[in-house]
Amino acid sequence: MNGRNRQELQWQLLRTFFRSRASFLRLFDSYEARVAKFAEQSATDRSRLKLPADELQSLLDFKSLEELRDREILRLKETAHELFRVADSTDRLDHFISNIYHEISILKEEHYTLKEDFVRMDRREYDRFFREVAEFYPKRLRHVKNLYQKALRRLEEILPEMADERIVVRSLYLFGEDLLVGAYRSGLKGLYNHMYPELGDVGGYGVVGKSFLESGFTEEALHAFRKALELYGRKRRKKKGPAQAALVKELQAEVERLEAA
């Protein structure tokens, strides 16, 4: 695998991870809201809630679940395999992602069973199935949510390995704010703090600015440099380390030079 292909795969990993995670969390929140609504309507604790087949099936958006697995999560799994799997080992991130795909697949098949006539028509079969699903759905959904959280923590550990990859840093700069909605309260700045543990968000904007400048994109470089300087100016003194101070001095000189040109 050449360097460019690896960078493209790294960006695809980030893009599909955060997109699929956001889609799953929307499904999860929707499920929780629907359960709460049915429980409130029947004045029953959710642990004792009993629903007919149609209402039980409505708890999860089957089409969205199917599309999530067959598009974003499948692409995420394939990308992780290509990046991390070798003959006798893989990374924990690949392991977590494979488990996410597996769990969503099981959930999808179990949900699909609700459509089968033998479940709907046989009361005892439905009662048995309902008892399984009543415990199975929330447990499985919480497990997938937990797997995404573990995968995120592992992804944050390996982000520094991508910190100087041109395709990754430019793509994050251009698309990161939208991509990271809901993942970090501070958006792209939150991810930069993991990708550049010493230089933080100031370093993130500084690195992408240098990348643009190397390719002759002066306006884009100036915009990123100014963003870095603005962030640094807003930080409290105790959060300004010597590495950031040195970088800021360098960026200030670059801005002055480019503005004078």
Report pLDDT digits (tens) over 26-43: 999 988 888 788 777 777
Closest CA to 20 of 64, 81, 82, 86: 64
Average pLDDT, the chain: 87
Same domain, 130 and 29: yes
Same domain, 73 and 152: yes
d(CA 252, CA 242): 15
Residue 199 exposed, middle or buried by CB count within 10 Å (0-12, 13-18, 19+): buried
Tens of pLDDT along 128-177? 655 656 667 788 889 999 999 999 999 999 999 999 999 999 999 999 99
**Final residue of a structural domain among 124, 145, 162:** 162
Please check whether residue 10 is in contact with residue 83, taking contact to mean a CB–CB distance below 8 angstroms.
Answer: yes
**Final residue of a structural domain among 162, 186, 204:** 162
Same domain, 120 and 105: yes
Confidence of residue 116 (pLDDT cuts 50, 70, 90): low
- Long-range (24+ apart) CB contacts under 8 A made by 226-233 are 226/255, 228/201, 228/202, 228/203, 228/204, 229/255, 231/189, 231/201, 231/202, 231/205, 232/202
First-to-last C-alpha distance (Å) of the chain: 40
Same domain, 158 and 174: no
Name the residue range of residue 151's domain.
3-162
What is the reported pTM? 0.88
Task: List the structure tokens of 84.
Answer: 């991390």
Same domain, 110 and 218: no
Same domain, 195 and 92: no
